[in-house]
Structure formats: C-alpha cells, structure tokens
Structure 1
Amino acid sequence: MKNNKQSYLMEVQNQIRSKEAKEFVSAELNYHITAMKSEWINKGLNEEDSEEKAVKQMGNPITLGQRLNKLHRPKVDWLTIILLVITLGLSFLPMLSLGNYFSDEAMSMGYYAKHKMIFVLLGGFVAFGMMMVDFRKLEKQGWLFYGIAMIILLLLAFFPSDMINGLPIIIIGSLRIESLMAIPFLFLAWASIFNDKRVKIWQMGILVIIPCYFLFKMPSISTIYIYGVMVLVMFCWSQFSRKTILSSLIFLISFFLIIGFIFWKASATYQKSRLQAFLNPEQYADTFGYMILYIREILSKAGWFGNAMSTEFIPTPHADFVFVNLTSYFGWIFAITLVFILSLFIVRIIVIARKVHHSYGKFLLIGAVALYSVQLVTNIAMMLGFLPMISMSLPFISYGLMPTLFNAFLIGVVLSVYRRKDLVPSGFKAKPARVN
C-alpha cells in the first residue's frame, strides 16, 4: 500500500508528546514534502507518484518522529528560574531592618513579611502561568490588549475611586487598579503593532500619544516614563529603516526640548526650585535638596559591611528607598552583589533574544528587557543622585503587589518565548499567519 503524506505525518506525530510540537512538526514536514513533491512534478512525474517519492525521501516516520520528539521537547530556562527564585528570596531581606524604623518590631516585620510572602507566591504563580501560555497565540490579540489598556487608563483618568499619593486608583473589592496595570497590556499590544508591517509610522505616532494623554491627565510621571522607554526601545529595533528611525528620534528630541523649555517658562517657582535642587542640592540644603543630601550621607556611612544597628530614618525603607536601606544595613559589598544579580536578568534576556527567530517573540523580549532595565537603572540612579526622585520600584526587591506581579509577568513572558524558541518552521518562519 502506498504511503501517502497524511498517513506519514500522522505516524510522525504519534511519536511526539508535546501538542505544540506536534502542530509545529506537522506544519514543517508538510512544507518540505510539498516542496519536494513540486520538484518531482517538474521532473515529469504525476501527482500521486511525486507525493510518494517525496514522502520516501523524508525517511522512516517512526525514527524521524522520535528524533524530532527529542529535538522539540518543551524547554525550560532553568537559569532564569533559578535566578528568579534567588531574587525573590533576597526580597525578604528588607524585612530584617524594619525594626529599626518602627516602634513595634514584631508588628512591622511580621505584617510586612506575611504580605511579602503572599506577593512572592502570587508572583511565582504569574511567572509559571505565563510560561505555560503559548506566546504565539497572543500576537493576533494586539488590538484587544491595546483596547483593554485604554479602558484602564480612561477609567483611572476620569472615574477614579480614590487617590493615593496624588495618583488615581480604582478599588473593586480587594482589587486595587492603578496605572502600572495598563503597561503589561500595552507591552503585548506594541509587540504586535511593531511586528505588523502594515501599520504606518504616523499611525504608530497616534497610538503612542493616546495613552500618554491619559497618563498626563492623571498625572503618572513614572508610568509615562516606563511606557515611553519601552516604546522607544522597541521602535529602534523595528522594521523601519535607519534613516526613518534616526529622523524620528531627532524629531522626538527636538519636541521634548521645546516642551521642556515651555514647561520651564510656565513652571511655578517651587517646581523650578525642585529641578535646581537636583542639579545643585547644596544650595537648597534646607528645602528641596535636603533629601538628596541626606540619602547621600547615609550611603557614605554604610561602609563595606553596613551598620545593622543604625536607626537613621529612611523614608519607605522597604519600597522605593529599599536600595538605600539594604546598603545601610548590609553594606556596599552586598549592594554591589545585589545589583549584579538583578542585572543578570538583563544579560539572560539578551542572550535568549539572540537565539530567537520568531519576530513577535523577539519584540516581546526587547520590550521585556526595556521595561525591566528602566526600573533597575532608574531606581539605582535615583538613589545615587544621578536622576531626580520619582516613584520607581527596585525590581522584585521593593515591597508591593503590583511591582512584584508586573516583573513576574515579564519574566513569565521571557520563559514562554524560551520554551518555544525552536518552534519556528524554517520554510516560513518570518511570515505571520495573516500573510498566507
């Protein structure tokens, strides 16, 4: 009995365990068999004989299936997982010093440690959940993700339930929605938009501005900053020509310089003083420059091994100022080690990105490394006095549910891409499904 293409593909698939790999292998083999069949038809054979010869050229289906099963077995990036576990474990260290800042040590350490444990467990669940999601199925949902993000920002900008530290939030039962919650949806949306060659640059400009309008309306400077860096980095890696990218960057720089000049002229005296205090804190030591100088003094006293008995006040020692707290408590050797460990995420994502050939997956990795890096670099730079103070968490280390879930989500996306990085058919790997 003649061995036709469908029976051959079924026999190969029977040797493969992973459902995702079955679909991938079937599409890949079908492509190659069809290509070889066309070659035989061009040589003068009829369609049935051409298919039979093409199938025979592929080899024994059982042997091939077993080999492909080993080759395309779902992969787990254990390096990233181990790094995530270590980092989440280190995130409990700020709890040790809270007794130095609160009178009721048992309450402070116990309360925050218990909630931190909940945040860490939820973060691990989010990272694992995203790893199991096939990132390729998210590509076609880009506009849906963009719409969800717009709904969140619209509600926050015009219908907030409450205000915390001047920023709007929406409270639904025990759920608290804030502006940072829109960024994961925008992240997934922009990976799809940049991967869609049909979207023009002027259309992208409009899509960038709309979220910025809502964020300025709140206003949420830190979220605008994170969002802007993400889009800018992804744009620099997009399919547009270097000339288009360079000219766009020049336009953006010129635009922000003009806006900055207008803002400076229209700013109130205290706003100008804040910026001047950042540039020259000594002249504003009694007002806006006090905190900059105070943080600088605490860091200078930390030494290589820290001072666990220090009772000097540090604002939000478990949140935005956690780096200062840990440096003061454990010393500069620990602080440098911590920054090194957190930086390994960046290195790892870049290494993975170089091995990924799926264009949408590559954009996801570029966006993830941008979102993670901007938090890490900005928080450290602020504490060292290189950037003005804004609300910015240190990834995984700072206390808080949303920052933990946000960064766990990013790592989960990275794990998802790595898990399926080899499931890209060689014959049509650069072609999105909509082109077919």
Structure 2
Amino acid sequence: MGLEDKFEMYISDLCKRIKNKDVHAHIKLEIHDHLHTLKEEFMSTGLSEEEAIDQALARMGDVGVLGKQLNKTHKAPMDVKTLLSVLTASLFGLLVMYYLQFHSAFTELQEMKIFNKSLVYYLLGVVLMLSLFMIDYRRLMKYSKYIYAATILILLLTVLIGVRVDDVPFLNVGFATINFTEITPFLLVVTFAGMFHSWDWNDNQKSWFGIGIMSIPILLMATTGAFAATIISIIVCAAIMHTSSSNLKQTITFTVVASIWPIWNLLSLSQSYTDFKIGEAYLIGSALQVSPSFISEVHTDLILAYIIYSFGWLAALIALALVIFFICRILITAKSVNHPYGKLLITGLAAVFSAQFILSLLTNLSLSPLTGVPVPFMSYGGSHLLLEMISVGLILSVYRRRKNKEAVSLAHFPQSN
C-alpha cells in the first residue's frame, strides 16, 4: 500500500460515518488539504515521509470520534416549521372530508367515500414528500429542457384531442383522463428554474428568446380555456423573471401582455356567472344551506366556503392562517438559498401556492368565477394533493441543501502550528 493511500483510506472511512452525503465532497477536500499541511510540517522537522504521514493521522485523531463529531455537525436539516404547517393543514382537510362523508347530508359524497380516498392520497403524498427530501433536487436541473418539450407536446395534445369535463380540459389517455393544465404550473417551475437560473436578460436577443419560451405554454393553456392555470403560470413566469435578474420593465411588460387574453376571457365568463348563496355563518358553526349547484363543488373548489358555513369563521381563519404561514415560510427560506437553481425553484413554487391560494380564496368568497382552483392541502382530489406534497418535498430538499456552496466548518479539525 502506498504512503498516500493511508490518507485516502482514512478519509474514506471517515466519510462512511457521515450520513449527510451532500457534504462528503467538501469534507474530503478539506481533510485532504489539512492532512497534507500536517505532513509537510512534520517533514520539515526532519521526519521521513512515512513517519510524517503517521504523525499527521495521529494528530487528526481517531476516525470514529471525528466521524461522530462531523456527523452531528453536518446532520441534514429538516425544515420542521414548513413540515408541521403542511401536516397540520392536511389533517385539517382530512377532518373536513371525514365530516362530509360521515356527518353531512351530502349522500352523493358519502357514496364517493371521499374520506377513505383522501386518506390514501395524503399517506401516499407524505411518502413522496419525504422521499424527495432525501433526493438531491439539483439532479432535476439537467432534465429541464426535456421537461419543457414534453410539457409543450402534452399541452398541444390537450388542445387538439382533449375532452372537457365540467368545462375543464382533460387529456384522455385511454385508461384515464388527466387534467394536465392543473399540473402545468408546477412543471413550468421545474423547467424554467433550470433554464433561467443563469440567464442573461440584459442580452437583447436572449431576452426575447426567453420571453418566447415562457409565452408558448401560456398561449396553449389560454387556448384550452384553463384560465386559472393560465393566470397561475403567468405569475410563475413573472416571479422567475424577477428572481433571475430581469429588469422591472421586462417583467411588467411580459406580465401585462400575457394577461390580456386570460383577463378578457375571464370578464366574458363573469357576465354569465351567478354566485352561490348559502346560509348565514357565525364565529363558530352554523346551519348549512346549499343550492344544487354548490353541492358538486363543496368538497373541491368551494371547500373553504363549506368550512365557513359549517364550522364558522374561526375554523376558516385557522385554515387560512396555516396556508399563509406555509407560504411565508417558503418565501423566507428562498432568501437563504445559495444555489441559484434552488432559489428559482423554491421561488417559483411559492408563486404557484400563493396564486392558487388567492384565486381559491376569491372563488370561495364568491368574488371570482374561476373554477378548478383547490385550496392547498385541503380540497379533495388526488392529483393536486400529490402535486402539492411533491412540491413540498422539493422545497424541503432545497432547504436541506441551501448552504451547500459554503465551505465545511473546520471546527473539529486539529489546527496546525
């Protein structure tokens, strides 16, 4: 065995004791440099190379003790505040589904077994969320262009051969019908974060090219009539542009121009919109009175209205506070992220959740004709719940690695003289 191999074996054995693999590369580099510095110092005192290597390893200390210290220092952090807010909001939503299935007058919802299905969706979502927390989110970056191409292709198919269910465009794939427009804003966050994290918006040619890239999916979604998803996607694009250092004029111009068609169609839709009328609500609980048109959406788009008029304003305010805390939390986290891709990714997801929350709030307060906008973590539905949990998994993964561009602390390394 070569003399230098002793260093490599020591470093390899040390890294095996550190569970957070994200810091292995930094630790290997730091310890390698530190060992060589110690070796040179010992050789300068007249020791042979072999003796100097042995003395350097002795100075570093027992690999088990040092490994335990470094493992504790560099333990992968979990954003407990974000996790708890998501789990609490999810339990709140699950409680509402339980009440709807077992203690309400909606026989149709009881037959659907919405609580049983929701429980499965939530459990599966939590598994996906924790799995993504363990995976390095940066692996997605190299697939950004492919995800974008696939998104455009599927949107085209939705436009050309899609079917409408309750005026929402679905893509029929034979064994299932998929509301792909609901998924699109989340996919755009992933793809645009990867494509624009180092984009030069000051280059006139690249600036126009970037705007063109963002405009294509928005135009296709507007064509399908998926106004809520279109508006959310426009807000996502504006957030991505601003965070990736486009100037304010570029961001405002793009947002205004992209919003003309969706807003025009929204105004046309509002002319034929009739809001739902339900009974008087109190601070805590009230009798629920519904119209037939309200029943079909009570567990999905209008879940917040149901909470208000069944459990009272206090319960609704608690539900709103949970979602607002979650959004504020991820916005704060975005400021602490060092990696530009991670910063764009978490900012884009914050934009999705914020836009979705505001639009759903307007719908539930009978201030907007938009449909198909669920309340995050609370409305019934498998696809949106899984999407939201996957997004939280990515957010937790970004939080776990938010400081990775910083050097590894040498606090536990013996200092050379």
* Range into which the TM-score falls when normalised by the shorter chain: 0.7 to 0.9
My pick for the range that moved more, 217-226 or 195-204, is 195-204
Per-residue Cα deviation, 1:327-354 (whole angstroms, up to 9, x for no partner): 0000001111110011121122123223
| Paired residue type of 1:74 | A
In the alignment, which residue of structure 2 is the partner of 1:359? Answer: 340
| Paired residue type of 2:348 | G
Aligned in 2, Cα 1:35/1:386: closer, same or farther, shift over 3 Å? farther
Matches within 5 A, 1:101-116: 102-103=106-107, 106-107=110-111, 111-116=113-118
In the alignment, which residue of structure 1 is the partner of 2:164? Answer: 163
In the alignment, which residue of structure 2 is the partner of 1:326? Answer: 307
Matches within 5 A, 1:26-425: 26-27=28-29, 29=31, 59-60=60-61, 62=63, 64-95=66-97, 96-97=99-100, 100=104, 102-103=106-107, 106-107=110-111, 111-160=113-162, 162-166=163-167, 167-174=169-176, 176=178, 178-197=180-199, 200-238=206-244, 240=245, 244-252=246-254, 255=257, 259=260, 274-275=269-270, 277=271, 288=272, 290-291=274-275, 294-295=276-277, 298=278, 301-308=280-287, 310=289, 313=292, 314-315=294-295, 316-425=297-406
| Paired residue type of 1:303 | Y
My pick for the range that moved more, 328-337 or 409-418, is 409-418
Aligned in 2, Cα 1:17/1:152: closer, same or farther, shift over 3 Å? same
CA distance in 2, matches of 1:230, 1:35: 49
CA distance in 2, matches of 1:191, 1:105: 39
Is the 1:358–1:421 contact (alpha carbons within 8 Å) kept by the matching residues of 2?
Answer: yes
Aligned in 2, Cα 1:250/1:147: closer, same or farther, shift over 3 Å? closer
CA distance in 2, matches of 1:311, 1:89: 25
CA distance in 1, matches of 2:344, 2:215: 20
CA distance in 2, matches of 1:179, 1:368: 16
1:260 shift after superposition: 5.8
In the alignment, which residue of structure 1 is the partner of 2:22? Answer: 20
| Paired residue type of 2:133 | M
Secondary structure (helix, strand or coil) at the match of 1:168 reads: strand
CA distance in 1, matches of 2:186, 2:256: 29
Q: Which runs of 5+ in 1 are unaligned?
A: 41-47, 278-287, 428-436
Per-residue Cα deviation, 1:268-304 (whole angstroms, up to 9, x for no partner): xxx86654x5xxxxxxxxxx4641xx44xx37x1011
User: What TM-score, normalized to structure 1?
Assistant: 0.77
Aligned in 2, Cα 1:253/1:194: closer, same or farther, shift over 3 Å? closer
| Paired residue type of 1:216 | A
Is the 1:304–1:333 contact (alpha carbons within 8 Å) kept by the matching residues of 2?
Answer: yes
1:385 shift after superposition: 4.3
CA distance in 2, matches of 1:230, 1:303: 36
Aligned in 2, Cα 1:363/1:289: closer, same or farther, shift over 3 Å? closer
Per-residue Cα deviation, 1:110-130 (whole angstroms, up to 9, x for no partner): x22222122212222221222
| Paired residue type of 1:153 | L
CA distance in 2, matches of 1:217, 1:27: 53
Is the 1:307–1:328 contact (alpha carbons within 8 Å) kept by the matching residues of 2?
Answer: yes
Is the 2:197–2:341 contact (alpha carbons within 8 Å) kept by the matching residues of 1?
Answer: yes
CA distance in 2, matches of 1:150, 1:61: 56
Q: Which runs of 5+ in 2 are unaligned?
A: 42-48, 409-417
Is the 1:170–1:178 contact (alpha carbons within 8 Å) kept by the matching residues of 2?
Answer: no
Is the 1:18–1:73 contact (alpha carbons within 8 Å) kept by the matching residues of 2?
Answer: yes
Per-residue Cα deviation, 1:169-207 (whole angstroms, up to 9, x for no partner): 223424635222333332211111121346832221111
Aligned in 2, Cα 1:93/1:312: closer, same or farther, shift over 3 Å? farther
1:322 shift after superposition: 0.8
CA distance in 1, matches of 2:377, 2:235: 20
Is the 1:233–1:366 contact (alpha carbons within 8 Å) kept by the matching residues of 2?
Answer: yes
| Paired residue type of 2:235 | V
Secondary structure (helix, strand or coil) at the match of 1:421 reads: coil
| Paired residue type of 1:102 | F
My pick for the range that moved more, 203-212 or 6-15, is 6-15
